[in-house]
Amino acid sequence: MGVPRRGVVRYAIVGLGHIAQVAVLPAFAHAQRNSRVVALVSDDPVKLSILSKRYHIENTYSYDEYDSCLEEVDAVYIALPNSMHAEYTVRAARAGVHVLCEKPMAVTVDECRRMIKACRDHRVKLMIAYRLHFEEINLRVVDLVRRGRIGDPKFFNSSFAMTVRPGDIRTKKKMGGGTLYDIGLYCINAARSVFRSEPEEVMAISVNSGTARLDEIDESTGALLRFEKERVAVFVTSFNSADVGSYRIVGTKGQLRVDPAYEYAEGLGYELTVNGKTTRRRISKRDQFAPELLYFSDCIIKDRVPEPSGEEGLQDVRIIQALYKSARTGKAVRLPRFERSKRPSGRQRISRPGVEKPKLVKVQSASED
């Protein structure tokens, strides 16, 4: 489906869960230059009715009507459970519709490959919604490391945890639940970004204290990743702990601590310490989703290759699967060599003001806090 060079990309939001309601739909107000939401897809008639009126969206569809929806849009934002990403991406690609897919890209490497192939075969763009690839603090940290401010980066450590509500989809194995798929992915991607290299070998331990609401998945996982140039990343994820989300990168001359690091509902910040002197940078809450839309729509309109690409998403899923295999077997798992995707085309540091949390319709956040 063609888009005029100076046109506006018409999106359907597929899935009206928490992330779609609290962040994606409000973000279109900051992405009007090239992006417009024209359709909603859900099997909940109440959500469709209320949200379509709130955002002045004329077209609403059930999941059974997805193919009809694809005839009316240029792109989809897939905000479905992890286990549904592959199917709905492939169907969109076959219809000639571009895909912006929430992370993790999928549950298995094979699913990721099917998604990439379908989009390539049908000549549509595929981008994975790593919002922190567009966020100022994380981009500054990557740049500081690249410029050698902390010397040669040696190790990365991170903690990311929350107390997940009973019954949340993140606790359902068949829906792609588990701490690594939901929050461990952030730690993995951050380590890969700051090192600008790939892990060669991984090890993990997963534990479960017997909490009934987490009996299908890992309650907590500790991971160890050995990178090229003998660098190390360590992180712990948990669905049964107090909220925390930060990382630290330590080099031969100094260190960078990012805290909060992964949030979208509050401002982020970092501390740079070199030779005993610390400088701090913090920004207020920003809209982290509008930059994704603006960038992806420009890639569609100007026929650019988007980044984070499907290959980027596949690599994180490959690492997650290897970590879970290590946790099951008690052995280290070697990873095949991976060549990073091309560096991004187009400007990625895009800033938009924060949005107020809208009134939610039949959804709640994953965390009990």
DSSP H helices in 147-284: 179, 185-195
Rounded Cα gap, residues 116 and 311, in angstroms: 8
pLDDT tens per residue, range 175-222: 999 999 999 999 999 999 999 999 999 999 999 998 889 999 999 999
Which spans in 122-182 are helix H? 136-146, 179
Q: Which residues contact 231 (CB under 8 A, 6 or more apart)?
A: 153, 154, 155, 156, 195, 197
Q: How do residues 272-328 score in pLDDT, each as one tens digit?
A: 999 999 999 999 989 899 999 999 999 999 999 999 999 999 999 999 999 999 999
Sign of the alpha-carbon dihedral angle for 143, 148, 154, 158: negative
Active site residue 154: no
Distance CA 327, CA 333 (A): 10
Over range 64-92, report the average pLDDT. 98
Report the predicted TM-score, pTM, of the whole model to 2 decimal places: 0.94
For position 340, what pLDDT does the model report? 65
pLDDT tens-place string over residues 341-360: 555 554 566 656 556 777 88
Secondary structure class of 176 (helix, strand, coil) = coil
**Quick one: CA torsion of 51, 55, 58, 59, rounded to 10 degrees?**
-50
Residue 187 CA to residue 236 CA, distance in Å, equals 9
Q: Which domains does the chain have, with CATH numbers?
A: 9-132+289-306 (3.40.50.720), 136-282 (3.30.360.10)
User: Could you confirm whether 181 is annotated as catalytic?
Assistant: no
pLDDT for residue 338: 86
Among 58, 60, 80, 68, which Cα is nearest to 14's?
80
User: What single-letter DSSP state applies at residue 238?
Assistant: E
pLDDT score of 149 more than 80: yes
Which of these is catalytic: 186, 247, 262, 264?
Answer: 186
Residue partners of 2: CB distance under 8 A and separation at least 6: none
Q: Tell me which of 47, 66, 77, 103 is the catalytic residue.
A: 103
Q: Percent of the chain having pLDDT more than 70?
A: 93
Q: Which band of pLDDT confidence, cut at 50, 70 and 90, is reported for residue 135? A: very high
Q: What is the mean pLDDT of the chain?
A: 93
